[in-house]
Amino acid sequence: MAEQLKGLTVALAGPRKAEEMAKLVENMGGTALHRPAQGTSFVDDAALHDGLKAWVEQPPDLAVLTTGMGLEALFETAGKLGMAERFLEVLSASPVAARGYKTVNALKKRGLEPAVRDDDGSNAGLIRGLQGWNLRGKRVMLQLHGETAPQLTGWLEQAGATVGCVQPYRYTEPEPGALEQLLNEITTGQVDAVAFTSAPQFRFLAQHAREQGRLEALVQALEDKVLAVSVGRVTSEALKEEGVQRIIMPERERMGSMLVSLGQYLAANRR
């Protein structure tokens, strides 16, 4: 692993654990640039309270959970509202579809097992798991995290379900100028790789590029001269939606693993 990133500049688009990731890049011989492409996440308390009350007062026929962190936030809020026990009862009474191992672990901690799991950590994998279910006329509660999931929501609605959404966290845009700086560095090849740790980071960047009429230049740069590194399937989906095909992604969805995968890719492709 040592020196696998020697001479390379890696832009870190995630605000979380940026110092740890920068240290790892440096330990591997590279130079890390902090380029947050999203702001902090925040809890929308009013929307969360309303969503939880609707969930408890009108129990759904199916619960779809997309993140462990989001589920923990739901139980924390339910506790503050004095309805944690009732929420657990309601969650236990309906089948649960879960995306990602962290979500499954958060359920197991409370003695719950999902009836449906994704096959690869993505929303598309969750949809594949639900293919055989008859959802016509059924009520579904969907727990989101950070952003909307139009593909998943649209599929559930097309299957005939009525979908209610609860979104414990929302991501904000980064500081003004941050996206422009990162866009310039990618399109001019000033960085060798850019590491994305969540789908919103690339979506914010792509939207900024689109507004500037430079989305094609961004995608082309990521295909030709700058390596796109993704922490996992959901983040990779956001890149693929805009046409980026060359994506380095670890088998295990970990921030450290993504940088190790970058090093392994470079070692395998150096001539």
Check which CATH number belongs to the domain holding 106 and give it.
Answer: 3.40.50.10090
Tens digits of per-residue pLDDT, 44-74?
A: 778 788 889 999 999 999 999 998 888 998 9
Q: What's the mean pLDDT when you consider all of the chain?
A: 90
Q: Is residue 2 part of a domain?
A: no
Indicate the number of domains in the chain.
2
Q: 11: which strand partners?
A: 33, 194
Is the same domain home to 55 and 131?
A: yes
Tens digits of per-residue pLDDT, 10-28?
A: 999 987 777 889 999 999 9
84-93 helix and 68-80 helix, angle to the nearest 10 degrees: 130
Tens digits of per-residue pLDDT, 107-128?
A: 999 999 999 999 877 888 899 9
Can you tell me the mean pLDDT for 95-102? 92
Question: Last residue of some domain: 121, 147, 170?
Answer: 170
Q: Is residue 4 part of a domain?
A: no
- The pLDDT confidence band at residue 2, using thresholds 50, 70 and 90, is low
Is the same domain home to 31 and 93?
A: no
Q: Is residue 26 part of a domain?
A: yes
Which of 92-96, 149-153, 237-241 is predicted with the least confidence, judged by mean pLDDT?
A: 149-153
Which stretch, 114-123, 162-171, 221-230, has highest mean pLDDT? Answer: 221-230
Residue 146: per-residue pLDDT:
66
Give pTM, 2 decimals. 0.71
Is the same domain home to 32 and 64?
A: no
Question: Last residue of some domain: 170, 189, 218?
Answer: 170
Q: Is residue 1 part of a domain?
A: no
Q: Is residue 130 part of a domain?
A: yes
Residue 122: per-residue pLDDT:
81
Do residues 246 and 227 touch, judged by C-beta distance below 8 A?
yes
Q: Would you state the structure tokens that stand for residue 169, as one six-digit string?
A: 């966290």
State the Cα–Cα distance between residues 158 and 152, nearest whole angstrom.
10
Domain residues for the domain of 118 are 42-170
Is the same domain home to 97 and 149?
A: yes
Question: Last residue of some domain: 110, 139, 170?
Answer: 170
State the Cα–Cα distance between residues 87 and 83, nearest whole angstrom.
6
Is the same domain home to 54 and 142?
A: yes
Task: Report the amino acid identity of residue 111.
Answer: G
Which of 36-40, 62-66, 263-267 is predicted with the least confidence, judged by mean pLDDT?
A: 36-40
Q: Quick one: three-class SS letters along the chain?
A: CCCCCCCCEEEECCCCCHHHHHHHHHHCCCEEEECCCCCCEEECHHHHHHHHHHHHHCCCCEEEECCHHHHHHHHHHHHHCCCHHHHHHHHHHCCEEECCHHHHHHHHCCCCCCCEECCCCCHHHHHHHHCCCCCCCCEEEEECEEECCHHHHHHHHHCCCEEEEECCEEECCCCCCHHHHHHHHHHCCCCCEEEECCHHHHHHHHHHHHHCCCHHHHHHHHHHCCEEEECCHHHHHHHHHCCCCCEECCCCCCHHHHHHHHHHHHHHHCC
